[in-house]
């Protein structure tokens, strides 16, 4: 008791000698805890060094994270910023993967004070998440591609952080319009700023097949040749796809590949006549209707085809999930759908992958470890499907179309995008809590959230950026931050501060008028 009663000594400094105290910029997603360390600003200088502290088997990964971080900073600051083993004590930026296991796989602690800046995690992944936070603590001009004038001050702060949900994804539809490897990399650059960890690629649909399958080569050579509107399409060779996988992995994103079945399959049906029940290949399709195509559920060749496709896709995507689609099978008789999904799911588990599919798959028995992706609009049918998935032990990823669909127009004058799920303002997309969205869906059944970007109306990167930003960071916050942290007024202020970062990164974001961009 006597010790506890020891008074805290307030150290006062004359006003003139008062150390710098910069207001900390708002972070997205909001960390679990963050405290200001008044008067403890850190300044990055020409003499700053990055020191690594990691075990032998994690040192390559840690070094890569440090190199990624410093290579951008070298460009904007012009400082040399060498990366060294922590042993020379001079390193005043300390990155460690030797933190306690209690931090969790993605958790980290970050401290900025007058003498040093440190990020401590238990894994390279946690270190990467922490460095993402560090990037947001730096002035926005740190993201610039050319040299900027200092000072490079960071407000003193102590942060402890870890995610609420394990699955935090973004989906890109590369089928309706094809996007090159370079464009996908740019999307990865931008989504990884917000601590997402899954990149779901919608690789096959009516309008195009985009991933190489050696055993069925016409899928890409013919089935991938066009896109919506009839312009040339494209596809990823095995080398291209490997490059996407590697780049995603370097940004701590796991690729979830999707081959949509049994509907959304016109590109495959057009490529191989035998896949059709009547043996006649339909023409390639370049419109935007849905629900008109179906694999032939009764034919054996359908499953030989899927076995080959899932094997070759599984070989190309090392993550543990393979998405088989399953949505909007309006041309598949219902009894056929109920026959098809379990057979297709078995071909996925045969590849040692977890089955993921859109919510409709919950109507059929699912293998252990499956994930159903909710895309409802608060309608009772979709909510029932989510509960049915949970009732059979599957997890649910939430992508409510009226909130998380990035292809929905912001308002009636948004120049592209769709509006079938309603107009989705920045506030509407942010203002929901994953654990209360669907009545009676236990939080334990929720794997996380995902923001899909369908591309019927989006044919270039500028349009993707315009639809994803500023809504994507909000979905990322719903996936990462604690329920108690979710607050539109706080979020809106923090979002405004991202504007100057996006300007530095030349992001074509929608300057929603309700946000105070700065």
Q: Give the Cα separation of 153 and 107 in Å (integer).
A: 25
Q: How far is the CB of 401 from ligand TNX (least distance, A)?
A: 6
Tokens of 32: 């679990």
Indicate the residue among 209 and 375 with the shorter CB distance to ligand TNX.
375
**Is the bond preceding residue 203 a cis peptide, omega within 30 degrees?**
no
Q: Which of 258, 407, 450, 477 binds ligand TNX (CB under 6 A)?
A: 407
Is 477 among the residues known to form the active site? no
Segment lying near ligand TNX (by CB under 6 A), choices 43-51, 65-73, 401-409, 503-511:
401-409
Q: Give the Cα separation of 387 and 383 in Å (integer).
A: 6
Q: Give the Cα separation of 221 and 234 in Å (integer).
A: 8
Q: Give the Cα separation of 85 and 22 in Å (integer).
A: 30
Site for ligand TNX in 232-291 (CB under 6 A): 290
The residue annotated as part of the active site, out of 328, 363, 427, 493, is 328
Indicate the residue among 117 and 356 with the shorter CB distance to ligand TNX.
356
Distance between start and end Cα atoms, the chain: 49
Site for ligand TNX in 45-104 (CB under 6 A): none
Q: DSSP secondary-structure letter at 281?
A: P
Interaction between residue 337 and ligand TNX (CB under 6 A): no
Q: Which of 152, 285, 454, 491 binds ligand TNX (CB under 6 A)?
A: 454
Q: Which of 152, 247, 285, 358 binds ligand TNX (CB under 6 A)?
A: 358
Q: How far is the CB of 145 from ligand TNX (least distance, A)?
A: 33
Segment lying near ligand TNX (by CB under 6 A), choices 297-305, 389-397, 399-407, 499-507:
399-407
The 113-142 contact track toward ligand TNX, x by CB under 6 A, reads ------------------------------
CA distances from 158 to 45, 110, 154, 496 (A): 21, 6, 12, 23
DSSP 82-101: -EEES-STT--EEEES-S-G
Site for ligand TNX in 317-336 (CB under 6 A): 327-328
Segment lying near ligand TNX (by CB under 6 A), choices 119-127, 300-308, 343-351, 400-408:
400-408
3-state DSSP: the chain helix, strand, coil percent, rounded to 5? 35, 20, 45
CA proximity to 91, closest of 130, 36, 141, 52: 52
Q: Which of 179, 340, 374, 405 binds ligand TNX (CB under 6 A)?
A: 405
Indicate the residue among 41 and 206 with the shorter CB distance to ligand TNX.
206
Q: DSSP secondary-structure letter at 106?
A: S
Indicate the residue among 259 and 505 with the shorter CB distance to ligand TNX.
259
β-strand partners of 119: 95, 110
**Residue 246 backbone phi and psi in degrees, to 5:** -65, -45
Q: How far is the CB of 350 from ligand TNX (least distance, A)?
A: 24
Q: How far is the CB of 287 from ligand TNX (least distance, A)?
A: 12
Q: How many residues bind ligand TNX (CB under 6 A)?
A: 11
Could you give the maximum distance between any two Cα atoms of the chain, in Å? 89
Ranges of H-type helices in 176-283:
181-191, 218-221, 238-250, 266-271
Q: Which residues are catalytic?
A: 328
Interface with ligand TNX (CB under 6 A): 290, 327-328, 358, 375, 401, 405, 407, 418, 454, 456
């Amino acid at each position: 008791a006597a010790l506890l009663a020891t008074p805290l000594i307030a150290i006062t400094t004359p006003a003139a000698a008062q150390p710098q105290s910069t207001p900390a910029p708002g972070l997205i997603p909001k960390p679990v805890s963050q405290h200001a360390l008044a008067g403890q600003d850190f300044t990055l200088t020409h003499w700053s060094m990055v020191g690594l502290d990691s075990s032998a088997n994690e040192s390559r990964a840690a070094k890569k994270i440090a190199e990624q971080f410093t290579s951008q900073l070298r460009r904007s600051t012009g400082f040399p910023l060498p990366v060294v083993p922590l042993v020379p004590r001079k390193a005043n930026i300390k990155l460690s993967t030797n933190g306690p296991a209690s931090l969790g796989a993605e958790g980290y602690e970050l401290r900025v004070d007058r003498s040093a800046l440190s990020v401590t995690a238990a894994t390279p992944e946690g270190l990467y998440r922490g460095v993402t936070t560090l990037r947001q603590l730096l002035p926005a001009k740190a993201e610039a591609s050319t040299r900027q004038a200092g000072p490079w001050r960071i407000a003193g702060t102590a942060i402890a952080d870890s995610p609420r949900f394990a699955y935090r994804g973004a989906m890109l539809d590369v089928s309706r319009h094809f996007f090159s490897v370079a464009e996908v990399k740019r999307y990865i650059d931008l989504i990884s700023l917000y601590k997402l960890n899954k990149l779901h690629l919608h690789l096959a649909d009516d309008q195009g097949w985009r991933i190489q399958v050696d055993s069925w080569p016409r899928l890409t050579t013919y089935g991938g040749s066009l896109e919506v509107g009839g312009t040339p399409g494209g596809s990823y060779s095995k080398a291209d796809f490997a490059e996407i996988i590697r780049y995603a992995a370097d940004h701590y994103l796991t690729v979830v590949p999707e081959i949509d079945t049994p509907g959304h399959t016109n590109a495959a049906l057009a490529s191989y006549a035998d896949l059709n029940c009547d043996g006649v290949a339909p023409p390639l399709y370049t419109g935007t209707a849905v629900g008109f195509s179906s694999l032939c559920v009764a034919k054996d060749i359908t499953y030989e085809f899927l076995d080959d496709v899932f094997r070759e896709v599984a070989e190309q995507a090392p993550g543990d999930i393979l998405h088989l689609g399953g949505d909007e099978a309006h041309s598949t008789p219902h009894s056929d759908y109920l026959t098809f999904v379990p057979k297709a799911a078995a071909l996925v588990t045969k590849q040692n992958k977890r089955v993921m599919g859109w919510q409709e798959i919950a109507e059929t028995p699912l293998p252990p470890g499956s994930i159903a992706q909710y895309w409802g609009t608060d309608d009772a049918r979709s909510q029932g499907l989510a509960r049915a998935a949970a009732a059979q032990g599957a997890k649910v990823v939430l992508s409510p179309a009226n909130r998380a669909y990035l292809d929905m127009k912001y308002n009636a004058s948004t120049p592209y995008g769709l509006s079938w799920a309603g107009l989705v303002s920045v506030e509407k997309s942010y203002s929901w809590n994953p654990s209360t969205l669907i009545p009676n869906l236990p939080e334990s059944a929720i794997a996380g959230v995902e923001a899909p970007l369908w591309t019927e109306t989006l044919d270039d990167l500028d349009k993707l950026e315009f639809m994803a930003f500023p809504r994507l960071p909000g979905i990322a916050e719903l996936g990462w931050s604690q329920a108690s942290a979710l607050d539109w007024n706080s979020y809106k202020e923090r979002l405004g501060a991202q504007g100057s970062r996006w300007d530095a990164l030349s992001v074509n974001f929608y300057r929603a008028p309700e946000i105070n961009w700065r």
